[in-house]
């Protein structure tokens, strides 16, 4: 494993961090407070090329390899304080665009990828249901064949981007008895009769990323809206989750880096008992623990990316990176609040928001407990 970045990769990092600092931090506190989705910032991020990072140039992407993409997303997290915006962009990239690139027909790729990558359209991925969360393949949304068409009925919950989405990737079963093998994936446009979306679900963090419930009531779609083959939905879901799990938290490496810089500055400036608080070992060691956690998370992330770049599945390494990164992000945000004392608890400093946002990372793309199950399975337990 080579730990050095090329000049081009470093330049990409610098340009994304500086773009994000200048262009993506408008009104973050207000947007979070009111739960406002910043559609204009989404468009700016897309125009800068964020949504196209690892995707083919023919659809508007820049065809970066996975390690460069992870490094670029780290830069985004360093520069942009709106974790909800970053989360929504990632959800679309890994759970909507990736499956279309891998499993879509030429017509589907041409119809959807340029619109999604350019930011003109927003995509949502609906797998989770009220009674099928961690046990995702137990879903009950049904697709029944009528001639060569399909009629879908069911409810999806916690669907990120749904309230603003133009395209929905929906997983449904055509045969519950067949479990994983009975699932089929569909690409359904907004406005299709029978598809409706609830108003945004209020939540603790990532409040600028709207999440909704998607209801399918006799929603009829044609064969050209099926993604991949009948019964291939489980494989499509697993494929996109591997990429999502590996990449969705890369931005938190940048977020944690920024938090440590903020904490270090604060610990040098803030004085109590006639001394900078950073001179108290309890405070400096807390920041040291944050730094060690960040560097451990960074190594796990890039190792997982490196293995995947070599064509390896790396299921255990991806699960370890996701587990450790998400837990480190929560602990580092808690520590950042503690270093700032009462000021860290206030909304104005923005650190309490980072904690609320980080908690989501322990849940989406498979909870921490599920990552441990995957690691245990890989160990043969
Ligand atoms: C911010 C956010 C965004 C999301 N975005 C999307 C999206 O865009 N599309 C989508 O389809 N879904 C999305 N989800 C849903 C997410 O994938 C699920 O919340 C997650 O898989 C857990 O399912 P659940 O909430 O039903 O919890 P449950 O599965 O009911 O789990 C409850 C608790 O039991 C534990 N548990 C369950 N099974 C086991 C087990 N076998 N071993 C040990 N512990 C277990 C869990 O770890 C958890 O602690 C999102 C969720 C969040 C929080």
> Three-class SS string for 148-177?
CEEEEEEEEEEEECHHHCCEEEEEEECCHH
Q: What is the average pLDDT across 374-378?
A: 98
CATH superfamily of 124-231: Butyryl-CoA Dehydrogenase, subunit A, domain 2 (2.40.110.10)
Phi first, then psi, for residue 218 (nearest 5°) are 50, 45
Query: What is residue 348's predicted lDDT score, i.e. its pLDDT?
Result: 87
Domain spanning 7-122: CATH 1.10.540.10: yes
**229, 177 Cβ separation under 8 angstroms:** no
pLDDT at 3: 81
Report CA 111 to chain centroid distance, whole Å: 23
Does the predicted model carry a pTM greater than 0.85? yes
Q: Calculate what percentage of the chain has a pLDDT beyond 90.
A: 98
pLDDT of residue 325: 98
User: From atom 32 of ligand 1, which residue's Cα is the shortest distance away?
Assistant: 134
Q: Are 374 and 366 in contact (CB under 8 A)?
A: yes
Mean model confidence pLDDT for the chain = 97
Ligand 1 pocket test target in 32, 87, 133 with most atoms within 8 Å of CB:
133
Q: Which ligand 1 atom is nearest residue 367's CA?
A: 47
What is the average per-residue pLDDT within 76-89?
Answer: 98
Check whether 169 has a pLDDT greater than 80.
yes
The preferred substitution site among 89, 134, 137 for testing ligand 1, maximizing ligand atoms within 8 Å of CB, is 134
Separation of 333 CA from ligand 1 center, angstroms?
A: 22
354 is catalytic: no
Tell me the two tokens of residue 190: 């907004």
Could you read off the pLDDT of 188-225 as tens digits, one per residue?
999 999 999 998 999 999 999 999 999 999 999 999 99
Tell me the average pLDDT across 374-379.
Answer: 98
Q: Is the pLDDT of residue 264 over 80?
A: yes
Strand partners, 146: 149
**What are the boundaries of each domain within the chain?**
7-122, 124-231, 249-378
**146 burial via Cβ count (<10 Å: 0-12, 13-18, 19+):** exposed
Does residue 42 register a pLDDT over 80? Answer: yes
CA of 332 to the centre of ligand 1 (A): 22
Say yes or no to pLDDT of 28 above 80: yes
Under the banding of pLDDT at 50, 70 and 90, the label for residue 168 is very high
Looking at residues 269-274, what average pLDDT do you find? 98
Confidence at residue 1, expressed as pLDDT on a 0 to 100 scale: 77
**Residues 265-285, buried b or exposed e (16+ Cβ, 10 A)?**
ebbeebeeeeebbbeeeebbe
Q: In this model, does residue 61 exceed pLDDT 90? A: yes
pLDDT at residue 199, rounded to an integer: 85
Tell me how far the alpha carbon of residue 134 lies from the centroid of ligand 1, in angstroms.
5
In angstroms, rounded to a whole number, what is the distance separating the alpha carbons of residues 287 and 213? 40
Average pLDDT over residues 13-41: 97
Q: List all residues whose CB is within 6 A of at least one atom of ligand 1.
A: 91, 125-128, 133-134, 158-160, 206, 211, 360, 363-364, 366-367, 369-370, 373
Q: What is the pLDDT of residues 115-136, one digit of tens each?
A: 999 999 999 999 999 999 999 9
Q: pLDDT at position 193, please?
A: 98
Alpha carbon distance 350, 353 (integer Å): 5
Among 74, 244, 317, 354, which one carries the catalytic annotation?
A: 244
Tell me which fold the domain 249-378 belongs to: Butyryl-CoA Dehydrogenase, subunit A; domain 3 (1.20.140)
């Amino acid at each position: 494993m080579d730990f050095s970045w090329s000049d081009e990769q470093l330049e990409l990092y610098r340009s994304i961090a500086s773009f994000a600092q200048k262009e993506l931090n408008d009104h973050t506190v207000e947007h979070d407070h009111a739960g406002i989705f910043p559609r204009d910032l989404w468009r700016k991020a897309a125009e800068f090329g964020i949504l196209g990072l690892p995707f083919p140039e023919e659809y508007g992407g820049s065809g970066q390899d996975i390690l460069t993409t992870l490094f670029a997303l780290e830069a985004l997290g360093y520069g942009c304080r709106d974790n909800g915006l970053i989360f929504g962009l990632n959800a679309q990239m890994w759970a909507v665009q990736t499956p279309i690139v891998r499993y879509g027909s030429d017509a589907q790729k041409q119809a959807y990828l340029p619109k999604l990558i350019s930011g003109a359209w927003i995509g949502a991925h609906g797998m989770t249901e009220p009674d099928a969360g961690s046990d995702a393949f137990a879903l009950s949304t049904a697709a029944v064949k009528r001639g060569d068409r399909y009629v879908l009925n069911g409810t999806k919950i916690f669907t990120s981007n749904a309230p603003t989405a133009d395209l929905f990737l929906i997983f449904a079963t055509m045969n519950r008895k067949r479990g994983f093998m009975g699932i089929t994936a569909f690409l359904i446009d907004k406005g299709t009769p029978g598809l409706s979306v609830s108003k945004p679900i209020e939540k603790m963090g990532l409040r600028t990323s709207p999440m909704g419930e998607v209801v399918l009531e006799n929603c009829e779609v044609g064969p050209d809206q099926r993604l991949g083959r009948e019964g291939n939905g489980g494989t499509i879901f697993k494929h996109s989750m591997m990429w999502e799990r590996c990449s969705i938290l890369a931005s938190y490496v940048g977020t944690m880096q920024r938090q440590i810089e903020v904490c270090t500055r604060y610990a040098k400036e803030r004085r109590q008992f006639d001394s900078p608080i950073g001179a108290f070992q309890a405070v400096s060691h807390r920041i040291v623990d944050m730094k060690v956690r960040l560097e451990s998370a960074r190594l796990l992330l890039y190792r997982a990316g490196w293995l995947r770049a070599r064509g390896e599945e790396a299921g255990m390494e991806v699960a370890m990176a996701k587990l450790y990164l998400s837990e480190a992000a929560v602990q580092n945000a808690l520590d950042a609040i503690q270093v700032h004392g009462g000021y860290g608890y206030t909304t104005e400093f923005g650190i309490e928001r980072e904690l609320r946002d980080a908690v989501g990372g322990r849940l989406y793309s498979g909870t921490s407990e599920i990552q441990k199950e995957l690691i245990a399975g890989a160990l043969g337990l």
